[in-house]
Amino acid sequence: MALLVLLGELATSQRSINAVQRVEPGLKHVLSQKSLVYGAPVYLRIFKAERRLEIWLQKDDGRFAFVASHEICSMSGVLGPKEKEGDLQAPEGFYEFEPGAMNPWSSYHLSFNIGYPNRLDRSLKRTGGLIMVHGHCVSIGCFAMRDGPIEEIYALVQAAFLAGQKSVRIDIFPFVPVPDQVTRFRDHKWFHFWEDLWVGYRYFENQRKVPPFTIAGGRYLVAPL
Protein backbone atom coordinates (compact mmCIF):
# COMPACT_ATOMS: atom_id res chain seq x y z
CA MET A 1 0.00 0.00 0.00
CA ALA A 2 1.35 3.43 -0.93
CA LEU A 3 2.44 5.61 1.95
CA LEU A 4 0.06 8.52 2.50
CA VAL A 5 0.86 11.26 5.00
CA LEU A 6 -1.44 14.18 5.77
CA LEU A 7 0.18 17.50 6.65
CA GLY A 8 -2.85 19.59 7.53
CA GLU A 9 -4.78 19.64 4.25
CA LEU A 10 -1.68 18.76 2.22
CA ALA A 11 -1.30 15.06 1.41
CA THR A 12 2.02 13.45 0.57
CA SER A 13 2.81 9.96 -0.68
CA GLN A 14 6.04 8.04 -0.99
CA ARG A 15 6.06 9.05 -4.65
CA SER A 16 5.79 12.76 -3.88
CA ILE A 17 8.32 12.49 -1.06
CA ASN A 18 10.82 10.82 -3.41
CA ALA A 19 10.15 13.38 -6.14
CA VAL A 20 10.69 16.33 -3.82
CA GLN A 21 13.88 14.80 -2.49
CA ARG A 22 15.17 14.47 -6.06
CA VAL A 23 14.55 18.06 -7.10
CA GLU A 24 14.77 20.05 -3.87
CA PRO A 25 18.60 20.46 -3.72
CA GLY A 26 18.78 21.74 -7.30
CA LEU A 27 15.83 24.06 -6.80
CA LYS A 28 17.32 25.54 -3.65
CA HIS A 29 20.58 26.17 -5.48
CA VAL A 30 18.83 27.91 -8.40
CA LEU A 31 16.72 30.02 -6.05
CA SER A 32 19.74 31.06 -3.99
CA GLN A 33 21.35 32.38 -7.19
CA LYS A 34 18.26 34.54 -7.70
CA SER A 35 18.07 35.68 -4.05
CA LEU A 36 14.81 33.76 -3.67
CA VAL A 37 13.68 31.49 -0.85
CA TYR A 38 12.43 27.92 -1.19
CA GLY A 39 8.91 28.04 0.23
CA ALA A 40 8.18 31.59 -0.96
CA PRO A 41 4.69 32.21 -2.40
CA VAL A 42 4.20 30.90 -5.94
CA TYR A 43 2.38 32.34 -8.96
CA LEU A 44 1.91 30.32 -12.17
CA ARG A 45 1.13 31.43 -15.73
CA ILE A 46 0.25 29.32 -18.76
CA PHE A 47 0.37 30.42 -22.40
CA LYS A 48 -1.49 27.90 -24.53
CA ALA A 49 -0.22 28.79 -28.02
CA GLU A 50 3.36 28.87 -26.77
CA ARG A 51 2.75 25.64 -24.78
CA ARG A 52 4.53 27.18 -21.82
CA LEU A 53 4.08 27.14 -18.06
CA GLU A 54 5.96 29.79 -16.06
CA ILE A 55 6.85 29.66 -12.38
CA TRP A 56 7.28 32.89 -10.40
CA LEU A 57 8.21 33.27 -6.73
CA GLN A 58 7.59 36.24 -4.46
CA LYS A 59 10.52 38.33 -3.25
CA ASP A 60 10.86 40.09 0.09
CA ASP A 61 9.45 43.29 -1.42
CA GLY A 62 6.21 41.54 -2.40
CA ARG A 63 6.94 41.48 -6.12
CA PHE A 64 7.40 38.26 -8.06
CA ALA A 65 10.56 37.11 -9.80
CA PHE A 66 10.81 34.65 -12.67
CA VAL A 67 12.10 31.20 -11.74
CA ALA A 68 11.59 28.86 -14.69
CA SER A 69 9.61 28.09 -17.81
CA HIS A 70 8.58 24.55 -18.76
CA GLU A 71 7.12 23.13 -21.95
CA ILE A 72 3.56 21.84 -21.82
CA CYS A 73 4.19 18.64 -23.77
CA SER A 74 0.56 17.63 -24.32
CA MET A 75 -2.63 19.69 -24.41
CA SER A 76 -5.86 19.15 -26.32
CA GLY A 77 -8.34 21.56 -27.85
CA VAL A 78 -7.95 24.93 -29.56
CA LEU A 79 -7.58 28.52 -28.41
CA GLY A 80 -10.51 29.65 -26.30
CA PRO A 81 -11.97 28.79 -22.89
CA LYS A 82 -13.48 25.50 -21.81
CA GLU A 83 -17.28 25.62 -21.99
CA LYS A 84 -18.65 22.16 -21.33
CA GLU A 85 -17.88 18.64 -20.21
CA GLY A 86 -16.35 16.59 -23.01
CA ASP A 87 -15.32 19.47 -25.29
CA LEU A 88 -11.64 18.47 -24.80
CA GLN A 89 -10.80 22.13 -24.20
CA ALA A 90 -8.19 23.35 -21.73
CA PRO A 91 -9.51 26.37 -19.77
CA GLU A 92 -8.48 30.00 -20.02
CA GLY A 93 -8.91 32.53 -17.23
CA PHE A 94 -7.83 33.28 -13.68
CA TYR A 95 -7.83 30.21 -11.46
CA GLU A 96 -6.83 29.41 -7.90
CA PHE A 97 -6.22 26.21 -5.98
CA GLU A 98 -5.63 25.26 -2.34
CA PRO A 99 -3.56 22.49 -0.70
CA GLY A 100 -6.39 19.98 -1.06
CA ALA A 101 -6.01 20.19 -4.85
CA MET A 102 -2.60 18.51 -4.71
CA ASN A 103 -2.63 14.85 -5.73
CA PRO A 104 0.53 12.93 -4.75
CA TRP A 105 -0.87 9.58 -5.91
CA SER A 106 -2.05 10.73 -9.35
CA SER A 107 -2.33 8.22 -12.19
CA TYR A 108 -0.22 10.77 -14.09
CA HIS A 109 2.75 10.82 -11.71
CA LEU A 110 1.90 13.99 -9.74
CA SER A 111 -0.88 16.50 -10.30
CA PHE A 112 -2.90 19.39 -8.97
CA ASN A 113 -6.41 20.55 -9.84
CA ILE A 114 -6.41 24.14 -11.16
CA GLY A 115 -9.89 24.94 -9.85
CA TYR A 116 -12.07 24.80 -12.97
CA PRO A 117 -14.91 25.73 -12.99
CA ASN A 118 -14.31 28.97 -11.12
CA ARG A 119 -16.96 31.53 -10.18
CA LEU A 120 -17.02 33.10 -13.64
CA ASP A 121 -17.33 29.71 -15.32
CA ARG A 122 -20.21 28.76 -13.06
CA SER A 123 -21.97 32.07 -13.74
CA LEU A 124 -21.80 31.22 -17.46
CA LYS A 125 -23.05 27.68 -16.78
CA ARG A 126 -19.84 26.10 -18.01
CA THR A 127 -19.55 22.43 -17.12
CA GLY A 128 -16.80 19.88 -16.62
CA GLY A 129 -14.11 19.61 -14.01
CA LEU A 130 -11.02 17.79 -12.79
CA ILE A 131 -8.72 19.92 -14.96
CA MET A 132 -5.18 19.21 -13.87
CA VAL A 133 -1.58 20.12 -14.39
CA HIS A 134 0.05 16.69 -14.31
CA GLY A 135 2.87 14.50 -15.56
CA HIS A 136 3.18 11.61 -18.04
CA CYS A 137 2.85 13.88 -21.11
CA VAL A 138 -0.65 12.77 -22.13
CA SER A 139 -3.76 14.92 -21.93
CA ILE A 140 -7.46 15.18 -22.73
CA GLY A 141 -8.29 18.72 -21.64
CA CYS A 142 -5.55 19.02 -19.01
CA PHE A 143 -2.05 20.52 -19.11
CA ALA A 144 0.43 17.64 -19.26
CA MET A 145 4.09 18.07 -18.41
CA ARG A 146 7.03 15.71 -18.56
CA ASP A 147 7.70 14.09 -15.21
CA GLY A 148 10.85 16.09 -14.41
CA PRO A 149 9.16 19.48 -14.75
CA ILE A 150 6.01 18.43 -12.86
CA GLU A 151 8.23 17.31 -9.98
CA GLU A 152 9.84 20.77 -9.83
CA ILE A 153 6.50 22.59 -10.09
CA TYR A 154 4.91 20.30 -7.50
CA ALA A 155 7.84 20.72 -5.10
CA LEU A 156 7.75 24.53 -5.26
CA VAL A 157 3.98 24.65 -4.79
CA GLN A 158 4.11 22.16 -1.92
CA ALA A 159 6.90 24.13 -0.24
CA ALA A 160 4.85 27.33 -0.54
CA PHE A 161 1.80 25.68 1.00
CA LEU A 162 3.86 24.24 3.85
CA ALA A 163 5.29 27.72 4.47
CA GLY A 164 1.79 29.17 4.81
CA GLN A 165 0.54 30.19 1.36
CA LYS A 166 -3.22 29.65 1.46
CA SER A 167 -3.86 29.34 -2.28
CA VAL A 168 -1.94 29.57 -5.55
CA ARG A 169 -3.08 31.61 -8.56
CA ILE A 170 -2.65 30.08 -11.99
CA ASP A 171 -3.56 32.43 -14.84
CA ILE A 172 -4.11 30.85 -18.26
CA PHE A 173 -3.82 32.93 -21.42
CA PRO A 174 -4.39 31.97 -25.07
CA PHE A 175 -1.02 33.48 -26.05
CA VAL A 176 1.34 36.30 -25.18
CA PRO A 177 -0.40 39.47 -26.47
CA VAL A 178 2.37 40.79 -28.68
CA PRO A 179 1.09 43.19 -31.37
CA ASP A 180 1.34 40.77 -34.31
CA GLN A 181 -0.65 38.08 -32.50
CA VAL A 182 -3.27 40.53 -31.27
CA THR A 183 -3.77 41.79 -34.82
CA ARG A 184 -3.91 38.27 -36.22
CA PHE A 185 -6.71 37.24 -33.86
CA ARG A 186 -8.67 40.52 -33.77
CA ASP A 187 -11.71 38.93 -35.43
CA HIS A 188 -11.63 35.76 -33.33
CA LYS A 189 -14.86 34.93 -31.48
CA TRP A 190 -13.06 35.07 -28.12
CA PHE A 191 -11.12 38.27 -28.74
CA HIS A 192 -13.12 40.43 -26.30
CA PHE A 193 -12.83 37.75 -23.62
CA TRP A 194 -9.08 37.70 -24.19
CA GLU A 195 -8.88 41.48 -23.88
CA ASP A 196 -10.07 41.14 -20.28
CA LEU A 197 -7.39 38.52 -19.61
CA TRP A 198 -4.71 40.71 -21.18
CA VAL A 199 -5.48 43.50 -18.72
CA GLY A 200 -4.36 41.03 -16.05
CA TYR A 201 -1.31 40.06 -18.10
CA ARG A 202 -0.23 43.69 -18.45
CA TYR A 203 -0.91 44.39 -14.78
CA PHE A 204 1.54 41.66 -13.83
CA GLU A 205 4.10 42.72 -16.43
CA ASN A 206 4.08 46.26 -15.00
CA GLN A 207 3.71 45.55 -11.29
CA ARG A 208 5.11 42.03 -10.86
CA LYS A 209 2.19 41.41 -8.51
CA VAL A 210 -0.69 38.97 -8.95
CA PRO A 211 -3.48 40.91 -10.68
CA PRO A 212 -6.53 41.44 -8.44
CA PHE A 213 -9.88 41.04 -10.14
CA THR A 214 -13.62 40.92 -9.65
CA ILE A 215 -16.27 39.18 -11.70
CA ALA A 216 -19.30 41.01 -13.08
CA GLY A 217 -21.53 40.50 -16.09
CA GLY A 218 -19.72 37.32 -17.07
CA ARG A 219 -16.38 39.13 -17.29
CA TYR A 220 -13.09 39.33 -15.42
CA LEU A 221 -12.54 42.93 -14.29
CA VAL A 222 -8.94 43.57 -13.28
CA ALA A 223 -8.25 46.47 -10.94
CA PRO A 224 -6.67 49.39 -12.84
CA LEU A 225 -2.99 50.17 -12.39
Give every strand in the sheet of 102-103, ordered side by side: 102-103, 111-113, 132-134, 143-144
Output Rg (C-alpha) for the chain, integer angstroms: 17
Q: Which of 109, 134, 136, 192 is catalytic?
A: 134
Could you tell me which of 146, 187, 143, 156 has the C-alpha nearest to residue 47? Answer: 143
Q: Using CB atoms within 10 A of its CB, is residue 79 exposed (0-12), middle (13-18) or buried (19+)?
A: middle
CA distance 14 to 128: 30
CA distance 213 to 200: 8
Asked about 134 being catalytic, the answer comes back as: yes
Asked about 142 being catalytic, the answer comes back as: yes
Contact 73, 197 (CB under 8 A): no
CA distance 184 to 181: 5
Q: Which of 70, 109, 136, 142 is catalytic?
A: 142
Q: Are strands 4-7 and 143-144 parallel, antiparallel or unpaired?
A: unpaired
Dump strand ranges (E) for the chain. 4-7, 10-13, 42-47, 52-58, 64-71, 93-97, 102-103, 111-113, 132-134, 143-144, 168-173, 213-216, 219-222
Q: Which residues participate in catalysis according to the annotation?
A: 134, 142
